[in-house]
Amino acid sequence: MNKYKKAIERNEVRDFFFGYGEYYHHDRDWGTHDNISTFIDILEYGEEIGRNKLSERFDADIIAILETSEIGLEEFGDLLCFVRYSFISLGGKRPFNWIPSERLRELYRQSYVRKVKDLNKIGNDNCEQFSEELHELYRLNNERINLCGEDYLKYYNRIITELKNRFNYYLIDDAPYERNSKNTLFEVPQDTVGEYIVPEGITSIRNYAFDGCRHITSVKMPDSVRSIEWYAFKDCTSLESVSISPNVDFIGDGAFKGCSKLKSLFIPVNVRILDRWAFDECTSLSRIEVAEANKFFASKDGMLYSKDMTNLIMCPPKIETRNLVIPEGVVSIKSGAIYECPEIRSIHFPASIKAIEMSSIYDCPKLREIHFCGKEISSSKMVIDGLLNLDRKCKLYVPSETIVGKKLRGLYKICRVGSFS
């Protein structure tokens, strides 16, 4: 029997949520309870009773815990994790898409305030101080370690901040605009054909709202739309044009994933969060334009950059040029920036480049030339992770005075071309 169902029948939901007794899931790496496995149990129960009933049940159970019992520091962390897990795919299952009720949000806020007050009273004299690197591993892997004092507060705030910046969900802070069932577009019928006009008054296009709508060719949005969330238009394989609302400020991960006929996109003035993987598998995308007044992003030659033009965020897969020239002033090539670009033959990096991140250049089968004009290209002077897995047929072209690190010399042919002068 499903563990969540068993806990409900036995009136042991609190023990189930926090992994007590027989509801404990052992994490082999950390030797503690694995709350991800608990949440997968919750999702599996939803497959039995339906997601709508699961949302109501799950919401009511957390409310009952927060209203009737005092919870510990680690237990509150578990409840925060549950909100985070509802936005991501776990165990190969589609995200829960659960939105906590207003009553539950208020209880989360009250509990957070109480925990902050409690933590301010806790001294850290006997607490082990973990490194920033270990905290980052904790955040990424959702593991549980015995934190204390301000370490717990950092952990809480990281989850809360991630909910805002990655998922556009405001659990503790006031949201910049109202988000409820009446102004959220949850699902569009997959047999919809041709142009789709988002109804007036909609503020959020929810995760997977258009998923699999393979016959929609264009989408128009009213000015009321403020957010396009994770995988909103996933696998809309006939979608050729999207008119994004000028008031959209959030475009989530995979928002247009698999929109293989989408050729160009205009990023409006108010977009402040735009995940690079929003356009994953948009194999026909040749150009991205950004409103000039946008404060966070910019475009040049059809490519997407940070506003200050120091970070290359994305080169469209079908960019028209075969010889990619990165402008002077760019410091970093972000992960996935030059991804699945089948026609690019060469990339020219400026002297200003300092970081070519892991997987920043990937699946570019015709790429044969990498050009540098800096004085040193080595792991001791810059991040070169993105250069370590290119096709071995690639050649590195550098000035005669340039120092090339041992790693790169062992991987590629180095061609000396002229000098700095």
Q: State residue 123's pLDDT score.
A: 42
Q: State residue 121's pLDDT score.
A: 58
Share of residues in the chain with pLDDT > 90 (%): 61
Distance from C-alpha of 215 to C-alpha of 219, rounded to nearest angstrom: 11
Q: Express each pLDDT in 70-128 by its tens digit.
A: 888 889 999 999 999 988 878 777 787 787 888 999 999 999 888 877 766 554 433 34
Judge whether residue 221 has pLDDT over 50: yes
Tell me if 307 sits within 8 A of 284, measured CB to CB. Answer: no
Whether the model pTM is above 0.85:
no
Phi, psi of 195 (to 5 degrees): -80, 140
Strand ranges for 92-192 from DSSP E: 184-185
* Residue 85 in tokens: 């897990």
In terms of Cα–Cα distance, which of 24, 21, 47 is closest to 35?
A: 24
CB neighbours of 411 closer than 8 A, spacing ≥ 6?
387, 388, 390, 392
Domains of the chain: 3-167 (no CATH), 178-285 (3.80.10.10), 289-421 (3.80.10)
Share of residues in the chain with pLDDT > 70 (%): 91
Distance from C-alpha of 371 to C-alpha of 398, rounded to nearest angstrom: 6
Q: Express each pLDDT in 278-291 by its tens digit.
A: 999 999 999 999 99
Going edge to edge, which strands form the sheet with 303-306? 297-300, 303-306, 311-314, 332-333, 355-356
For the chain, the C-alpha Rg in angstroms (whole number) is: 24
Tell me if 263 sits within 8 A of 285, measured CB to CB. Answer: yes
* Residue 203 in tokens: 């503020």
- What is the identity of the amino acid at 165? N
In the block, residue with structure tokens 């009273």: 121
Tell me if 221 sits within 8 A of 200, measured CB to CB. Answer: no
Cα dist from 110 to 45, 59, 105, 402, whole Å = 29, 16, 9, 59
Q: Express each pLDDT in 144-181 by its tens digit.
A: 334 455 678 888 999 999 998 888 888 888 888 777 77
Q: What is the mean pLDDT of residues 330-350?
A: 94
Q: State residue 135's pLDDT score.
A: 44
Q: What is the mean pLDDT of residues 214-219?
A: 96
Q: What is the mean pLDDT of residues 242-268?
A: 95
- The three-state secondary structure class of 404 is strand
* Residue 46 in tokens: 């939803």
Q: CB burial class (10 A; 0-12, 13-18, 19+) of residue 379?
A: middle
